[in-house]
A and B are shown apart, each in its own frame.
Chain A
Amino acid sequence: MDSLQFFAASRLVIVAGKGGVGKTTVTAVLAHAAADAGLRVLAVELEGKPVLADLLAGSSVEVLTITAPEALAAYLDAHGLKRVSKRLATSGIIDVVATAAPGIDDIVVLGKLKQLEQQPIYDLIVVDGPAAGHAITFLLSARGLLDTVRGGPIRTQAQDVLDMFNDPQRCQVLLVSLPETTPINELIETAYLVEEKVGVQLGPVIINGVDLGEPITVGSDRKPIKPAAREAALVAAAEFRNHRRDNQRAELARLRTDLALAQMVLPQLPVAGIAASDLPALAAALLEQIAMLDP
């Protein structure tokens, strides 16, 4: 698939996955790759942590933080409820409001994303979504609020967000995981939940940290090196690597069987934690994976 075609599929992309699978990294890589393809890109983070901005420093991607209290105040301001927003902004009231109608904090954030999506400023908006447990409640907030709130601006907001979710040309969700048993199981569960309950389009799944490479030959008739301990270390290291790659391949194959979504893999880099300097290589790897997708 042509990369521009891939990134033009929907303007808003929400990246979701369990904690620790590299969701923020993948968000940054997607944004970086889209910018490399010549698009105007906005990356959004929702937790007030500076990681995403750090990773994208030095790229043309703009980074924005959206938090619930600010989004709520801005929304009410924009709807002629300035006095209301002042009151609600005073400490803690957002908690009370969010408790009265759970999901309000999520819906104002989604509403802000919807507003960005409708403006022609950016070609692509990539969101570092909440971690898996919260991702489902985050995405379900619109539907939940339509059931509990029977009128007023929040209901309108929820309906607008739901309309956006139901239009694949406006919004899709990309799920991220690692090539290991438990994260893959959770990815499959999340995928079914999102499809059944939210009705939002799922894009290709992205498997992060895959140890690519051919099996290493051990046990041929090569003459062992000396001392024996050194030979044993070489063999043990090769067997360890082969075993892990086999496991990863098996997990990817299982995912292909259990979930009818295209897969993209990102390579494991020989570093403990990704830094801004690693992004160009990962973005290039992602663009290669996109080129291999069916159009």
Chain B
Amino acid sequence: MTVLDTIVGEAQIIVSCGSGGVGKTTSAAAIALHAARIGRRVVVVTIDPARRLADAFGLSDGLTNEPTRVELAAADASIAAAADTATAGGTAAAGSTAASGGELWAMMLDPSTTFDELVRQYAATPERADRILVNAFYRNVAGALSGTQEYMAAEKLYQLHRDPRFDLVVVDTPPTRNALDFLDAPATLTRFINHRLFRLMMLPARGGMKVLNIAAQPVLRTIGKVVGGDVLADAIAFFQAFEGMETGFRDRADAVSELLHSPATSYVLIASARRDTVEEAQYFAARLTESKLAVAAVVVNRLQPSFGESTAVDAFAAAEKADAGGQTELAVLWRNLGELRALADAEEAVIAPLVASTGEHAIHRVPLLGNDVHDLGGLGDIAGHLFEA
């Protein structure tokens, strides 16, 4: 049993996090696929707009903001076919058949639509909601405000967690500059809504002041000078319509934040064997510990495989010897083996601090595969490296 075996059996939420380009989406998909195969009713939420995941799941229509069922029978056939043709090991998980009751669903987060749904839910009247939804300032908040995507990912996770169709939610976090943004997103948005400037802009709805009068306030006049009057008028109109909804939003953000910090949520750190991604993972691990949360597991992707038992030094010595004996071809073979081994050793050295801080048991190594992962067979291959059961 690997640590991930335990997690997929017990967790209600699994969050896949790490810096960009380390294979978060692929890891989340492989974890979700395996969870379904052991009988969980799992939904995987991806943020990645590329069609890769939809293609890998055989969903020809792509993914939408609503969960779509992935045919596990088709998945099994595809995995079995992949297992038949696989030359290397690591297809242990792929060989078994799905436990009964398991279901796999997938969706792609649409932050803007998710935000619109929240507005409809908390607006006092449908007319009020419509006024907000068409407002230019709101469209900017929903579409471009930094942190919105992260917050909507957390919000969607909260909704899916309460959805009786699923007993496990696997979420792939957005490719942020900082993996922590996801954890902090609900608080960031609450802070934004509570900003004193916004409270100022909400005044008119209470006092019946006109937009023009509000815009004459010194701070707002200042902002108006920089961004122009129309933009400011849109912002004020938004806050007038938003009046009364802040409490609902704030309570919801608090509930989402609480869920992210509850024992129901397991964090899986994804890294590759590069110093920067390892440092990011360690930083995140430290932050989780600070928040009294545990790093459930670490996945290190794309590790250089080693071949045979010879050390790099021995291999290079053997190459020298072969050269001296005129065996050029053998020398090239030894040198190649030595180079691959040296790189594998360098990678182990880079991940060593991470291994030391989380413990060897938490580390799941996935070797660099010969081909890009683009179908269920490939995902099954990865799952084979993550799970034993």
User: How distant is A78 from chain B, measured CB to nearest CB, in Å?
Assistant: 13
Measured between beta carbons, the chain B residues less than 8 angstroms from A99 are 137, 140-141, 144-145, 192, 235
B228/A230 in contact, CB under 8 A: no
- Size of interface on A: residues with Cβ below 8 Å to B: 64
Given contacts A87-B222, A99-B145, A240-B370, contact A273 B227 (CB under 8 A): no
Measured between beta carbons, the chain A residues less than 8 angstroms from B230 are 150
Which of B95-103, B208-216, B273-281, B379-387 faces chain A?
B273-281
User: How distant is B346 from chain A, measured CB to nearest CB, in Å?
Assistant: 4
B21 at the interface (CB under 8 A from A): yes
User: How distant is B379 from chain A, measured CB to nearest CB, in Å?
Assistant: 14
Measured between beta carbons, the chain A residues less than 8 angstroms from B307 are 233-234, 236-237, 240
A270 at the interface (CB under 8 A from B): yes
User: How distant is A83 from chain B, measured CB to nearest CB, in Å?
Assistant: 8
Measured between beta carbons, the chain A residues less than 8 angstroms from B11 are none
Looking at chain A's contact residues, is the secondary structure mostly helix, strand, loop, or mixed?
helix
A19 at the interface (CB under 8 A from B): yes
Best-buried of B19, B145, B219, B333 by chain A (most CB within 10 Å)? B333
Measured between beta carbons, the chain A residues less than 8 angstroms from B372 are 180-182
Partner of A101 from the list B191, B231, B343, B370 (CB cut-off 8 Å) is B231
Given contacts A84-B225, A272-B350, contact A20 B20 (CB under 8 A): yes
Question: What is the 8 Å Cβ interface bit string for chain B, positions 329-358, against chain A (1 contact, 0 not)?
Answer: 110111011011011001101100000000
A244 at the interface (CB under 8 A from B): yes
A168 at the interface (CB under 8 A from B): no
Chain A residue nearest to B136 (CB atoms) is A148
Measured between beta carbons, the chain B residues less than 8 angstroms from A152 are 225-228
User: How distant is B320 from chain A, measured CB to nearest CB, in Å?
Assistant: 15
Q: Tell me the bound Cα distance from A137 to B148 in angstroms.
A: 15
B329/A272 in contact, CB under 8 A: no
B186 at the interface (CB under 8 A from A): no
B222/A270 in contact, CB under 8 A: no
Partner of B226 from the list A97, A236, A271 (CB cut-off 8 Å) is A97
Measured between beta carbons, the chain B residues less than 8 angstroms from A104 are 226-227
A226 at the interface (CB under 8 A from B): no
A237/B308 in contact, CB under 8 A: yes
- Partner-B contacts on A (CB < 8 A): 18-21, 47, 51, 76, 81, 83-84, 87-88, 92-93, 95-104, 131, 133, 137, 148-155, 180-182, 185-186, 216-218, 220, 222, 225, 229-230, 232-238, 240-241, 243-244, 247, 270-273
- Partner-A contacts on B (CB < 8 A): 19-22, 50, 52, 136-137, 140-141, 143-146, 175, 177, 191-192, 195, 197-198, 219, 222-223, 225-228, 230-232, 234-235, 272-277, 305, 307-310, 327, 329-330, 332-334, 336-337, 339-340, 342-343, 346-347, 349-350, 368, 370-372, 374
**Can you name 17 A-B pairs with beta carbons within 8 Å?**
A92-B197, A97-B226, A99-B137, A99-B144, A100-B137, A100-B227, A102-B140, A104-B226, A104-B227, A152-B225, A230-B310, A240-B305, A244-B368, A271-B346, A273-B274, A273-B275, A273-B350
